[in-house]
Chain A
Amino acid sequence: MNRSTPRRIALGSAAVAVVLTGVAACGSSASSSGSSGSSGSSAQGTYTIWDPYPQFAAGSAWEKLLDSCGTSAGVKIKRTAFDTTDLTNKELLAAQQGNSPDVLIVDNPVVSTLADAGVLTSTEENKVDTSQVEPNLLAAGQSGGKTYGTPIGANTLALYYNKSVLKAAGVDPASVKDWASLTAALAKVKAAGKKGITFSAIGTEEGSFQFLPWYWGSGAQLTDLTSDQAVSAVTLWKDWLKDGYAPNSVLNNTQTTSWQEFATGQYAFSENGTWQLANAKKAGFDYGIMAVPAQNGGTAPAPTGGEFVTVPVQKDTGRYSASDKIVSCLTSSANLLATDTTLSYIAPTKAGQDTQSSTDPDLKVWVQAVQAAKGRTSDNLGTKYPKISEQLWGAVQAALTGSKSPKDALTAAQAAAK
């Protein structure tokens, strides 16, 4: 049963990918192209690319970019899009069968897991140049002193706020500088008959992702879940729920449903990501964006989201040179900007970020947030992160539902994370 589930999911998503891309082939043909490459000369043949962007159909700018990068590297590109949650297991299975794609674009916290599995080549082997990338973004792809890919862009979390709700409650957004002033603002909003803040505290990785800005903003470290700072971060959320500043539904909210709550216009704040920017413009009310405040003021480090472009291990090491050309082309300044604009991401390079904040003032806050952001697997946590994260979201849920006190929940989590 356990085996059939991923297959069915994999088959299903492969079918979806086929429909979306209009390419009439799936996983099996990736293997044939892999072997055909090893028999021919290395810079020719078909190169496979897997990405988690099923929203980009055949004929989209993204697919055209992939094709043109292939052409300039002298190869043909065969692209398959997967659902992002499916991609890790799909790649692990492919690596087990020895038919990994030539280029894999994958969510950043997964990079260290795949690297640990020996699936990815380091930049020493694949010669991908990462010198332009901001170090705080690159760190998510580093483990054991090696770099396993380069970010295609970054997104992170910040607070969207509804200007009219705040105005009606008599709150000046500029006054929100730390946790105390934010909580005070929420109290005013509640007193004015509106709802305070919405976020996602669901029992998945998404829950940890949303909690981390507060966790890190308290000064806590992921290596010690029981610190006083960690307890204060959990207590902050717990008190918001207890006092009715945040709805109980946060426990079951994904970031999408949390956004839908904010889009009703009833909420003052929503913790959400760069990718909601287009939706915010459609929301029909005046919105603002501020960075998540740290406990004692300043910008809290939010976790980085976004994908890495990686080069999986191939039997024929001669294929890496063309893969390197494709990756360099995809991550060249002009192409990065174009891709990040379509994805609503922030560029991973200083130059790209400068261009973005000068062309779109809306992005300024996001550029700042991304500059302060931190990879979840950074600090050399690597594959320890998933275990810690699972315990962390569990502890947050236990505290928010009241089944354990924040201190007890975190102590239990720390014991289980070892």
Chain B
Amino acid sequence: MSKQFQFKLVLLGESAVGKSSLVLRFVKDQFDDYRESTIGAAFLTQTVTLEDQTTVKFEIWDTAGQERYKSLAPMYYRNANCAVVLYDITSSATLEKARNWIRELQRQADPSIVIALCGNKSDLAARRQVSEEEAKKYAEEEGLMWAETSAKTGDGVNEIFTAIAKKLPLTAPPPSARAGASRPGGRTGVDLNKQTTAQPGQEACNC
């Protein structure tokens, strides 16, 4: 029987580097040039099937704009198994911001988190400000995965998510991932959605 795993993936990066677009390409294989910044969903999911038929389901959290004014909640990083930190290859300032996010992840997130640095908008190579060598060197120093992607053309998008899936610990289910825990059988806490139809007053009194 093939194995199934589920992981929480968070997106980080300066506004307008293409975080939502990258997810939209990965999840729905769509692109919209004039995309507004909100995505309107709590999170999106997409499954990657590896060569050995292992399936990895990503629960992908977008920032919902909360990265803009230093307002991303600690809850966002909580139990994240992997992070994709984006910069825009046509703007060196966005790589600087990406470095800040990576420092923040190293400080706040679980130490075992898998981090991928992504240079997005590779279709705009003519306006490139960040060289491949510079980004790659930084990624190697920090032990991060690295790739260039284009949410517009789709170049490199599936490849980076598949590479992350391969790098995640597929030997045992993540011990504390909320993503995994919310599935039947995996939840250790109480499920509020269950028994919500129970009628107060009908239960036997406990006294």
Q: Do the two chains bind? A: no
Q: A interface vs B, CB < 8 Å?
A: none
Q: B interface vs A, CB < 8 Å?
A: none
